[in-house]
Structure 1
């Protein structure tokens, strides 16, 4: 295949990202995370309650992809940090970043990034029916980032040993499984309705 033919073939398969659409999606998912954070939390008797934030964070990565999912969560954190009451329980400002939940907050954008990274590498024709794979992607990102950083944050800010913080974090595991299963169901439905919502994969160079 000649260089010209290869470039033509690649250009036909590559969709260009629309910055306005990207910004709208990032803002929409930042708002969704805020709404999920403001829904009534479930106290498990520890320093950090159970909320639906994790569901929305993972959904942002699974639907928008790694980069836009990461930016959506960063926007949510930035809006809360500057004073809008979008954190759990209507909290705002920098106080939540000095509390027991700091590790979870810091982990959120990286968990969205990881979820998007995994989902972007699934076969595109199967994403709309890949509930188990998307579920595993979200669960893996949660156990790579959210739980370890959450444990460290509780140990640091709640004056717990690492062992005590680990036991406190165990209370979140069953809910995490349920939230990621729900995320997988919603994400596949979105991909079924909007099959081109994920960003295009980088074009591979084709040798002459």
Structure 2
């Protein structure tokens, strides 16, 4: 694959995540298709290139483009209480890379890596939420934050993961350059 193709795929991955983030149901932490986009991009591009797409997505939001949920962007979106969940998205791909070393069938490795990555993302985001809220004078307990920011999202995120892996594996095969086997 040429550098141009790699850059194009990475950019398209960031765009897909942004489009999915815009599909939202408002809540304290909005329900979006953002995690679906991340899982899909990781499934189609692989953990290494998919991680690059997630980082590009986060950087686009950091510089102010409205790529996050609710058409938000800028440093304030990342430095706010829920910004840790967005930053945590960048940790999912590296966890998937670690899972690639497991002696499991490919689909099981993908599933295990994404689920473990999601758990790391939830943990990072929850810690961030607690820290930023405390700095802003709002003291939340860990159970309260988990009840508000994690527990309601577990089942929807697992469903999004299953759909993204199903669609992503098919797309990855369709996008594979002619003449390659991997």
Deviation >4 Å, runs of 4+ = 119-123
**Could you say which residue in structure 1 is the equivalent of 2:49?**
68
**Could you say which residue in structure 1 is the equivalent of 2:143?**
163
RMSD over aligned CA atoms reads 2.6
Structure 1 gap ranges (5+) = 1-16, 202-208
**Alignment check: 8 A CA contact 2:39 2:164 kept:** yes
* Count of residue pairs the alignment pairs up: 174
Q: Indicate yes or no: 2:34 matched with 1:50.
A: no
**Could you say which residue in structure 2 is the equivalent of 1:20?**
4
Q: 1:19 to 1:62 in 2, by over 3 A?
A: same
Query: Offset at 1:195?
Result: 4.1
1:192 to 165, 173, 178: 173
Q: Hey, what's the Cα distance between the residues in 2 that align with 1:30 and 1:170?
A: 26
Q: Indicate yes or no: 2:135 matched with 1:135.
A: no
Structure 2 gap ranges (5+) = none
**Alignment check: 8 A CA contact 1:37 1:52 kept:** yes
TM-score, length of structure 2 as denominator length: 0.83
Q: 1:164 to 1:196 in 2, by over 3 A?
A: farther
Q: 1:109 to 1:178 in 2, by over 3 A?
A: same
The structure that has the greater radius of gyration is 1
Higher relative CO (Cα under 8 Å, sequence separation at least 6) belongs to 1
